[in-house]
Amino acid sequence: MFTNTLWKCWLAVVNPQVRLPADFPFSPKSSGKLYLKSLACYILGTVIPLGFFVAFTWYIDRYDPQLEMWLFAESRFYFVLAAFSALTFLTGFGAQLLYIRAQIHKQGKTVRDVLSLNRKHFGGSTLKLIGWGVATFLVAAILQQGIGAVWPFQLADPTADLINKMHGFSFAIMALLAVTAPIFEEVVFRGFVYGSIRTSLHKKLPPPSTPGYGKMVRRYDLIACFASALMFGLVHMNLAGLPLYVVTGMVFAEAYRRSGSLYVPIIGHFINNGLLMLLMMVLK
């Protein structure tokens, strides 16, 4: 029984079953345009709470200095900052998702279908889905440790440093944002970037009967995996930790390809960020 399980695990590594179809409805170019337009929606979505906050601070500065001193006292400053950050993120990300949803619907498709937000390859089992997510995290964590041992680097993260300075409810709000951020990142980098690059490359493939067809498919999938992971690493703006981000992004992309569900890398990414926040709490 144990030997049979090991053999199945080995086959899953060297000859995986690919469950993600290469049928993303947007090309890399149109995906880029869609993302930029959705980013504009994100910025516009943050304008409402930002405008309210600016108007409010102007009002109390002019008409109620005591309230201003009380509200922005050192003991409450981080709470105000965390609450404002959460509000702007929710309104901005909400506006961005609504725009993306509208554009996908114009293609006659749904967000669930385009991004493969499903459990169909797990027989509808949430437990199996979570198991895949946990396995994805473990693979990423092992590779991260290996990279850290071979390539020691100082990972500077201004957001993490800011969160680490917070306490109480303000820390909880910012930690929650950090933990939920993977939803946004996976939709963008695995859903859109990886999906569009992979599909565009697959369109260049010759007929399946062509000799070496399987190798070409694997080569194109690897190129899409690396390209999307590289973009994922670059947006973190930390060159010292770029290998870490790239390898992590490749693990998430490969988990997406093998599972056929974006929920898998989201869960893996969620666990990764959640444990980091937990570690920060323990070390505070």
pLDDT tens, position by position, 34-74? 888 998 999 999 988 889 888 988 998 888 888 888 877 77
> Is pLDDT of 282 > 70?
no
Which ranges of 23-125 does DSSP label H, i.e. alpha helix? Answer: 28-63, 65-71, 74-106, 111-115
**What are 216-233's pLDDT values in tens digits?**
999 999 999 999 999 999
- How many C-beta neighbours within 10 Å does residue 217 have? 16
Q: Which of 17-21, 115-119, 167-171, 253-257 has the lowest mean pLDDT?
A: 167-171
Q: What is the mean pLDDT of the chain?
A: 85
- Please state the rounded mean pLDDT for residues 114-124: 90
What is the Cα–Cα distance from 254 to 19, expressed in whole angstroms? 11
What pLDDT shows up at residue 150?
80
> Is pLDDT of 284 > 60?
no
Confidence of residue 81 (pLDDT cuts 50, 70, 90): confident
**What are 169-217's pLDDT values in tens digits?**
566 666 667 767 888 899 989 999 999 999 999 999 999 999 999 999 9
What pLDDT shows up at residue 126?
93
Task: For residue 150, give both structure tokens.
Answer: 């071979």
What pLDDT shows up at residue 16?
85
What pLDDT shows up at residue 212?
92
What pLDDT shows up at residue 148?
81
> Is pLDDT of 98 > 80?
yes
What is the Cα–Cα distance from 187 to 78, expressed in whole angstroms? 29
- How many C-beta neighbours within 10 Å does residue 132 have? 20
Whole-model pTM: value is: 0.84
